């Protein structure tokens, strides 16, 4: 099945594709500023995103990819975080951008407790 899904198509019914290998297309809204090991892709609804993750060092996503379109293939997973993990992850993402968050006063949203990811080994940026 070579169907390429949009971010919104996947996130409207995410449960269907969990642990499946799928192809997703979206616009790159963020790239990991440290090692280029992840990209965040968005669809029509910019609040929703899927994080495209590669094994550190296998593929490096360039910061210049931001704003471009990507098609990535990989295993779609849902990560669920405890409160401590959610705060830690939020802190880590901010720290990568050079922002120091105070974890003691961090306010978590419902969406901070999980993240949809595509663990990918191939991506085309254009």
**pLDDT digit string, tens, across residues 103-122:** 888 999 999 999 999 999 88
Cβ within 8 Å of residue 95, ≥6 positions away = 101
* Predicted local distance difference test score (pLDDT) of residue 1: 62
Compute the average pLDDT of residues 65-82: 96
- Whole-model pTM: value is 0.89
Residue 45 scores a pLDDT above 80: no
Residues in the chain: 126
Compute the average pLDDT of residues 67-85: 96
Largest CA distance in the chain: 46
């Amino acid at each position: 099945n070579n169907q390429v899904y949009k971010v919104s198509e996947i996130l409207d019914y995410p449960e269907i594709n969990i642990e499946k290998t799928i192809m997703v297309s979206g616009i790159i809204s963020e790239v990991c500023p440290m090692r280029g090991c992840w990209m965040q892709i968005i669809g029509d609804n910019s609040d929703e995103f899927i994080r495209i993750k590669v094994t550190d060092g296998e593929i490096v996503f360039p910061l210049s990819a931001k704003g471009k379109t990507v098609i990535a293939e990989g295993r779609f997973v849902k990560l669920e975080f405890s409160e401590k993990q959610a705060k830690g992850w939020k802190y880590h993402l901010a720290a990568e951008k050079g922002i120091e968050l105070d974890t003691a006063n961090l306010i978590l949203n419902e969406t901070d407790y999980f993240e949809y990811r595509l663990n990918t080994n191939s991506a085309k940026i254009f």
